[in-house]
Amino acid sequence: MDVGVLTVVVAALVALMLRRVVILRRDWHTARGFATGFLVVCVVILMTASAFEVKHQWVQARAAALVAHASGVRGADAECQRFTPELIDLSATSGFVFSDSQNVAHLRRTVCNDLFTWLLSNKRAPTDGQVRAVHITVHEAMHVRGEFNEARAECFAMQADADAARFLGATRAQATALAQRYYRDVYPRMPAEYVSGECAADRALDLTPGDGQFP
């Protein structure tokens, strides 16, 4: 579990709330009205903040499980970007892995948000963002595995997308459809360094050779 600003806020709210409960139990008559009102406000804010924090920790744990599964690296981890860092992140990157701390996949906040909504959905009609979110997590897992060539990582990831979707709860048909959709709709629009004419993902994805941009 990582500790962010929201974690501290939740902890502070819990402390504040406990303090108010103690004051009320003491029946501190001069402050009773204020303490009750303040307690209600604290509970409402705490419930809201906790919901966001639980969401962050849960989707991050699912992403970490997927990265470990797809990379085959024990102890592999994932880190979902929090709200505050995203505000100052002007990069266009969706995810990255540091070569000197290779077992952690760093995922953009939007990727984790899309992964979260996909995990909660019935997975029958994923959005483009949700398809990309599953794939990006797998792509970063390929870097965790040690493949830092973008075209090769992308190619391996496309062949692992269906298995990844199954791992996260999709049916076989949903998983295959998700992997094929990335290959058909997203891959051809990726920057040149991510694309390779040698990638035989079309065969692995049970697509007719010639689909996408491969000969």
Question: Closest distance between Zn ion and the C-beta of residue 138, in Å?
Answer: 11
Residue 77: φ, ψ to 5°: -135, 170
Q: How far is the CB of 143 from Zn ion (least distance, A)?
A: 6
Nearer to Zn ion (CB atom), residue 136 or residue 162? 136
Question: Where does 74-184 have alpha helices with state H?
Answer: 83-87, 109-120, 128-145, 150-167, 172-181
**Which residue, 93 or 171, is less far from Zn ion as judged by CB?**
93
* C-alpha span between 149 and 59 (Å, rounded): 27
Burial classification of residue 5, based on how many CB atoms lie within 10 Å of its CB (0-12 exposed, 13-18 middle, 19 or more buried): exposed
CB of 39 to Zn ion, least distance (A): 48
Instruction: For Zn ion, give the closer residue by CB, 99 or 208.
Output: 99
Least CB distance to Zn ion at residue 150 (A) = 5
Q: Are 81 and 107 in contact (CB under 8 A)?
A: yes
Name the residue with the smallest CB distance to Zn ion.
150
Shorter beta-carbon distance to Zn ion: residue 77 or 150: 150
Binding site for Zn ion (CB under 5 A): 150
